Amino acid sequence: MEDLYKIILYSLFAGITVFLGGFFAKYFERYFKDGVVKTEILHTSVAFGGGIIVAAVAFVLVPKGMDVLSVIPMTVAFLAGAIAFFFLDRHIEKKGGTVAQLLAMLIDFIPEAIALGAVFATDHNLGLLLAIFIGMQNFPESFNSYLELRKNEYTSSRCLLILFFLSFSGIIAALLGYYLLGNMPKLTGALMLFSSGGILYLIFQDIAPLSRSGKTWFPALGANFGFLMGMIGQKILG
């Protein structure tokens, strides 16, 4: 029972930053005056979030998937993710919208939350550190997701409501990982690689181009700082 409480607490910490990022974005949008500085901050935030997502792929999702799968299932899972999100992205675009940031956050957050639950079964300390890492990366990703949803004419209340419920999805994912996938490392690894394929497609198709801001170069450095956060998290996790 103590393990159950700890998993809920850790995954709640990892997920609550999804809502906090959106809440911060609401007041940034409302009170920060339009202009060059605001534009630079927005583009840098997109790049920073993209850097963290790439770091999650490079340091968490892909390595753990590759550890447990051979070449053929590894390749199939990764390509399946890329192809699936290619068609999903095209479907959303045909409807006149884009939610690439939100999709990338979800296919990053959910598998990592599942992994949190799965690794908690054998290593409580690693579970705690993974929760901290997930929480750090969710904040900028949800900040960007809120602003992206607003551009698609979602109301502020609706954006926050979506992010509020998504913040608790990590608890369900972590419990599933703990109770169902703790003894199924190959299935967990395949899920991580599937997510990695989808994330990388979204990064290069939708997210990275949004970080460009005219003839300025500073926003692109946001990706470096975001990736550095992932490097620091990897060093902490060992």
Per-residue pLDDT at 28: 82
Per-residue pLDDT at 60: 75
CA nearest 41: which of 236, 219, 193?
Answer: 219
What is the number of structural domains in the chain?
Answer: 1
Per-residue pLDDT at 104: 66
pTM of the predicted protein model: 0.71
Q: What is the DSSP string of 78-132?
A: HHHHHHHHHHHHHHHHHTT---HHHHHHHHHHHHHHHHHHHHHTT-HHHHHHHHH
Per-residue pLDDT at 113: 83
Per-residue pLDDT at 30: 81
| Average pLDDT along the chain, 238 residues, taken 10 residues at a time | 79 88 86 71 72 77 82 89 80 62 70 78 72 79 82 85 88 86 80 81 64 55 61 63
Domain holding 181, by residue range, is 2-237
